[in-house]
Amino acid sequence: MGATQQAQAQAQLDATREANRLEAYEPYERLGYQGQGIASIASGAPGQYQSSVVPNPTPLQTALGVGSTLSGIYGNIMGPYRTRTN
């Protein structure tokens, strides 16, 4: 039960940290969007804006990615050496 409470508390802290990070980058995003709009008006061509702020992966996503990579490496190394029995 303690682990569940700790995981919940960590998830709340992670969400708060991510919200603060996105809030800090919001003025830059807004300026980039407005700059693209002004550039498209000046050139006469419609502009496209892509956000450059990407949320950080959660610890679970990171662990799953590492596990997937390690299992792929293990499978590639051990694949040729396995013997099959019928």
Please report, for residues 61, 65, 81, 84, the alpha-carbon distance to residue 71 in angstroms, rounded to integers and kept in the order given. 15, 10, 15, 19
pLDDT of residue 29: 80
pTM of the model: 0.38
Q: Give yes or no for residue 85 having a pLDDT over 60.
A: no
pLDDT of residue 27: 82
Write the pLDDT tens digit of every residue in 17-69.
888 888 888 888 877 777 776 766 666 665 565 666 677 787 888 888 898 99
